[in-house]
Structure 1
C-alpha cells in the first residue's frame, strides 16, 4: 500500500465477497484463524473453510427470517460462531450488532427495541437474560451450545443447511454494523457503519498493526466492542493475515504469556490493562519467539509500562488512537514512535487539533482533536447515530468531525493526549457513560443524588467512582457502599459498577443546576498526582 494512501472507494463493496471470497479463491488452504479455548481445544481454519462456514451460517439466518437490512443482535464472547455469524450478516446485507455478554436484561431489552432487531444470537451465559428481556416479543432466537426451548439450535441448523452462495451486492454506504456506544447523557447511542467501512481498515492493518500474509495476529479485545471489528475481523483479513483467538473466561496474564510462547503469534494488540498486568507478572525467562510487533489502544498507556515491557521483550508498544465511529486515526508507527505520545496521523487521515472556530491551532496549544470532512466521508467515518440527527449534527463543526477528545500537537506533528471533552469513563478499555450509572444508583432508596466520574487507577487506567448524597434516614457505611455496588452490578452490566464510593453532603453544580463532573474528576486526578 502507498505511504500516502489514496481513498477511492468503489460504489459497491461486500467484505464477505470481495475480501473473504477472494482469499478463499486465491489462497484456499492458507490459515485464516487459529482458535483455542481454556480446555485445550484447537481449531485451525483455512480461508476456504471460513467462507463455507459463514455461507452455512448465512443459510441459518435466512431460514430464521433474516433478510437484507434486518438487524441481528450477536451477544457472544469469543466463540468461533461469532466470526461465522458476523460474516453471515455481511453476506446477507443484514446489520450486525455485536454486544458484550455482560449485558443485563434491561440492556438487552433496550437494544432490541432501539435497533428494531429481528433476531438475537446468544449462548448459555446470555440466553436466560435474553428470555427475560424479550418476553413474548416476536424476535427469532438462535442458541449457541445445543438445544434450548424456544430457540433454534445453531449447530444442528447449520449442519443441515446447504451453504448460501448468494452474497448481497451492498452499496458502499448501506448500513452494515450497529455499535451501541456510551455517552455522557441518555441511553447508549447507535453508531452505524456502512458496508464499505471494513475496507478503510486497510489503514489500521497496514500502518498500525503492520500485518501481511504469514502473520498470526492476536487481539485481546472483547467481541462486543468496535475494537474487535478493527483487529479481530477486518484489518487482519484485509492484509491476508491470520487471526489467533483464545476463548477463555477472564484474563490470566500468566496463561496469556504461556500462549504467546506456545503459538506462533507474530503481532499482539492488547489494552493497557493487559500490558500493566504483564509487566507486574514474572517476565524473567519468558521468550516469545515469534512475536515481533505490539500495539495498544483504548486509553493512554503509561510510559513506564512501555519501558518495562521493552526491557523484558525488546519490543516497543505502539499506541494507536481511534473511536467506535472511525478507523485508526493516529498511531506510533514502527521506527517512528514517541514514547507517551498518541503518535502522528495515519496516512489518508487529515487529523488536527482545532479551536472553537474550527481553526488549526499552533504547536503545543490545547484544543479539540478533529478529523477534516471534505466532499464525502473520510475513510471509515461512521454514517451517523441512528434515529438521532441532532446528536449526529453535534459532532461536526466548520467542516470537521469532533472526536470529543482534547490534545496538543508538538512541532514534529506528534499528538499528545490531554483528556476527554466529555465525561465518558475509560476503564480497562470499556467506555462507561456516567449517566447510565447515576440512573441505576438513583433507583436505590438510599440515594438522593449522585455524580459518577473517572478516578485514576494504576491497573485499569481509570475506574468508576461515585459521589453520593444520601436520602434522609440513611447514613454512610461500608455496608451501604457494598450494597450500592451490588445494586449496580445486578441492574446493569457489572463492569459499570463504581469501584470507589464517597459519601458527600452536596455536589458542585453550575448556576443552572447541572452537576459539574469535571470539577470532581479533576480533583481525583490532582489527588493521584500529589
Structure 2
C-alpha cells in the first residue's frame, strides 16, 4: 500500500520545525472532539479472542468520556486530583484516559501485573483519590484498601463488586453534556511510575503539552494519517501506550485496531493482520522476534504499509525476514517514559539496521561527555537533550515530589536520558547501553532494586545482585546472583521456589528467569555491589 510519507525531506523538516504550543490545551477537547465533528469517523475497532467485535467512533468516545467526567465530578473528583487506571485493553481504558484529560484530573496508569503491595505504594505516593480497574485487580486492591486513605472512589468494570461502583451502570446514568476544563498546556496531566536502579519507582510527571507533543510521534515516526488503522501491540500500563495507543494515532485522526487478549499469540496476531485492514503496526522487538519464528509465507498482509519497533535495538536478521514477508522495514524509534519520540528511523530515511535513526524534529539530541560537551562522531557518550535556552515540548516536567531526583538527570544545559550511544558521520544514533542498571526485557523496564528487595524476603536469600543477561527471544532477561543463608543448599527445587516467591511478592514479569547461586559478590570499597561487573561477565559470554 503506497502513500506519501508525512516527512519526505528529513533535513528540511528538521530545519524548519518549530514548536507552537498554545497557552491552553486539552487533548480531549482539541483533538478527540475535533475528529468527533464527523459522526461517522472511526476511532477504534476492538476485537477479542471470542470473536466479539466492537467499533467506536470519535463521537462515541467523546460522549462516553463526558459521561464518565460527570460521574467522577459528582463523586468529588476535582481538577488536579489523581485517578489510577489499571486496566488491560478494555474500551474503558480509552474512555477513562479521555475523561480524566477532559476534566483536568491527573491520570496514573499502571500495568495489570501489579501486586497489592505495588498498588498500595502507588496510591499513597501519588495520593490518588480514585481507582478504576477490573475485578481481578480490585480483589488485590481490597487487601490493601484500608492503608490507602486518600482513595475515596473505587470503580470496577465488566461485572459488579461489593463496595465498588459499577462502571457501566453509573456511566449509563450520567449526562453526556460536560464542559471541558480549560487546562493550561503546563498544567499537570499524567503521571507514570518508572523504575530506576535505586529505590522504589519514581513518578514521571507530564503536563497537557505532552499530548500535543506526541504529534511528532504520530506524524513523523508512526507516519499516520486520518485514513490509517494503527495497531500497537503494547500493555496499557506503560508509556508506550500513551505514545502509540492514544496520543500518537489520535493526534492524526487514525483509527486504532485493538486486540483484547490475556496473552500474546504469534499465530493469532498474524491471522488478525491478514484479516483486518491494519496499515501501521507498532510492537516491541520481542513481538517481532516471535512472529518471525512462524512460517510467514502462510500469511498475507494486504494492507500493511509501515512497521515500527521500540524498546531496544532489533537484530538485522529479524528486520530482513519480516521485510521479505511483508514488504515493510521495521523502523526503530528511541524515547522514554519521560519523553516523546527523541530519535527514529523515519520513513524518508535510508534505514541502517541496528541504528536508532536520526533525532526527531523539535529536539536537539546529542551525545555528550562528562562536561556537557557535544562529542565528535563515533565517540561513545551520554545521550542528552538540550533544554536551554529553550526547553523542548514533550519532555517530562519533573520526578514528582522528588526535587533531588529531578536535579540528578540534568547536566548544565542538558537532560540526560541515562543511556549511552555514539553518532556516526551522517547523524545516525547507535545505542550502546544503559548507563545505569535498569533491565529492559520484553519492552518492560525493571529496576534491580525491586527484584533484589523481593528476593531478600525469602528466608534462603542472604544477599543478591540482579542484572540483565542476554536472551535470544527477549533480548535480555533478569538474572539473579544469590548468596544463600547458612543452612540452605542450591538446588533446582530451591531455584523454582525462589522464582515463585518473587512472582508473588512483586509483579510476575520481574521474576529472575536465571538464577546463579554464588559464594561472594563483587563490591566497591564502600560496600556497593558492582552490578556492572556481573553484567559485563554475562554479556561477554554471548
TM-score by length of 2: 0.96
Residue of structure 2 in register with 1:96 after alignment: 107
Q: Deviations over 1:209-261 (max 9, x none)?
A: 00001000000110000000000000111111111100111100000011101
Is the CA contact (8 Å cut-off) linking 1:438 and 1:452 kept in structure 2?
yes
Q: Distance in 1 between matches of 2:325 and 2:47?
A: 26
Q: Deviations over 1:81-123 (max 9, x none)?
A: 0000010000110001110001000000000000000001110
Tell me by how many angstroms 1:164 deviates. 3.9
Tell me by how many angstroms 1:478 deviates. 0.8
Q: Report matched runs for 1:115-514 at 5 Å.
A: 115-135=126-146, 137-138=148-149, 139=151, 140-336=153-349, 337-514=351-528
1:18 equivalenced with 2:30 (yes/no) = yes
Tell me by how many angstroms 1:417 deviates. 0.5
Is the CA contact (8 Å cut-off) linking 1:217 and 1:267 kept in structure 2?
yes
Greater Cα offset, 375-384 or 395-404: 375-384
Tell me by how many angstroms 1:376 deviates. 4.7
Q: Distance in 2 between matches of 1:376 and 1:181?
A: 25
Is the CA contact (8 Å cut-off) linking 2:19 and 2:393 kept in structure 1?
yes
Residue of structure 1 in register with 2:43 after alignment: 32
Q: Deviations over 1:373-429 (max 9, x none)?
A: 024531200000011000000001010000000001000000000000000000000
Report the aligned-residue RMSD.
Answer: 1.0
Give the secondary-structure state (helix, strand or coil) at the position aligned to 2:384: strand
Tell me by how many angstroms 1:137 deviates. 4.1
1:70 equivalenced with 2:75 (yes/no) = no
Greater Cα offset, 425-434 or 42-51: 42-51
1:8 equivalenced with 2:17 (yes/no) = no
Is the CA contact (8 Å cut-off) linking 2:123 and 2:148 kept in structure 1?
no
Residue of structure 1 in register with 2:96 after alignment: 85
Q: Distance in 1 between matches of 2:316 and 2:29?
A: 42
Residue of structure 1 in register with 2:3 after alignment: none
Give the secondary-structure state (helix, strand or coil) at the position aligned to 2:34: helix
Tell me by how many angstroms 1:146 deviates. 2.2
User: Unaligned stretches of 5+ in structure 1?
Assistant: none
Q: Deviations over 1:148-202 (max 9, x none)?
A: 1100000000111111421111111111101000000100000000011100011
Is the CA contact (8 Å cut-off) linking 1:60 and 1:154 kept in structure 2?
no
Give the secondary-structure state (helix, strand or coil) at the position aligned to 2:135: coil
Q: Distance in 2 between matches of 1:376 and 1:168?
A: 28
Q: Distance in 2 between matches of 1:147 and 1:444?
A: 36
Q: Distance in 2 between matches of 1:190 and 1:313?
A: 39
Q: Distance in 2 between matches of 1:179 and 1:211?
A: 25
Is the CA contact (8 Å cut-off) linking 2:135 and 2:161 kept in structure 1?
no
Q: Deviations over 1:471-492 (max 9, x none)?
A: 1111111111111101000000
Tell me by how many angstroms 1:135 deviates. 2.5
Give the secondary-structure state (helix, strand or coil) at the position aligned to 1:32: strand
Q: Distance in 1 between matches of 2:397 and 2:348?
A: 34
Q: Distance in 2 between matches of 1:522 and 1:302?
A: 20
Q: Distance in 1 between matches of 2:96 and 2:134?
A: 13
Q: Distance in 1 between matches of 2:405 and 2:85?
A: 25
Is the CA contact (8 Å cut-off) linking 2:120 and 2:148 kept in structure 1?
no
Is the CA contact (8 Å cut-off) linking 1:16 and 1:91 kept in structure 2?
yes
Q: Distance in 2 between matches of 1:202 and 1:30?
A: 19
Is the CA contact (8 Å cut-off) linking 2:195 and 2:446 kept in structure 1?
yes
Q: Distance in 2 between matches of 1:158 and 1:185?
A: 41
Is the CA contact (8 Å cut-off) linking 1:425 and 1:453 kept in structure 2?
yes
Is the CA contact (8 Å cut-off) linking 1:58 and 1:164 kept in structure 2?
no
Tell me by how many angstroms 1:136 deviates. 6.4
TM-score by length of 1: 0.98
1:56 equivalenced with 2:67 (yes/no) = yes
Q: Distance in 1 between matches of 2:522 and 2:96?
A: 47
Q: Distance in 1 between matches of 2:172 and 2:362?
A: 43
User: Unaligned stretches of 5+ in structure 2?
Assistant: 1-5, 8-12
Residue of structure 1 in register with 2:10 after alignment: none
Q: Distance in 1 between matches of 2:458 and 2:70?
A: 46
